[in-house]
Amino acid sequence: MELNSIEDIRHALREFADARDWEQFHTIKNLLLALNGEVGELSEVFQWLSDGELEELSVENRIRAQHELADVLLYLVRISDKLDIDLIQAAKEKLEMNALKYPVAESKGNATKYNRR
């Protein structure tokens, strides 16, 4: 499989669902529940780790994290595709909005303001 971009993943996921006749299960709400499930699984990898264990992640936890991060991305791309939203373009616009919202001078090391958004 040649996969180098969000766009490639979008196509691969579409073919994957089509081939298995799974489009019927991929409603927006179902996919959102699945996305929440995967973010929950990702959280569970880290929930009890100490600072030391976070600093030097075990091989087992690194692999689990890698798989869960992938799952989150896959559902995120699938949802965006179903909504016909360009994820990279959306991220670009959001980054530009954030640059305006958090000017460097006023936001420097400033957790309080950050927290208030």
Q: Binders of its own copies among 22-41, rule CB under 8 A?
A: 22, 24-25, 27-30, 32-41
Provide, rounded to whole angstroms, the least separation between the CB of residue 55 and its own copies. 10
Q: Does 67 bind its own copies (CB under 8 A)?
A: yes
9 binds its own copies (CB under 8 A): yes
Work out how close the CB of 105 gets to its own copies at its nearest, in angstroms, rounded to a whole number: 10
Residue with token string 């996305």: 35
C-alpha span between 108 and 110 (Å, rounded): 5
Least Å distance, CB 60 to its own copies, is 10
Q: Which residues contact 78 (CB under 8 A, 6 or more apart)?
A: 13, 17, 26, 31
CB atoms within 10 A of CB 77: 20
Residue type, 106: E
By the rule CB under 8 A, 101 interacts with its own copies = no
Q: Give yes or no for residue 43 binding its own copies (CB under 8 A).
A: yes
Query: Out of 14, 56, 59, 85, which residue is the one contacting its own copies (CB under 8 A)?
Result: 85
Rounded Cα gap, residues 82 and 80, in angstroms: 5
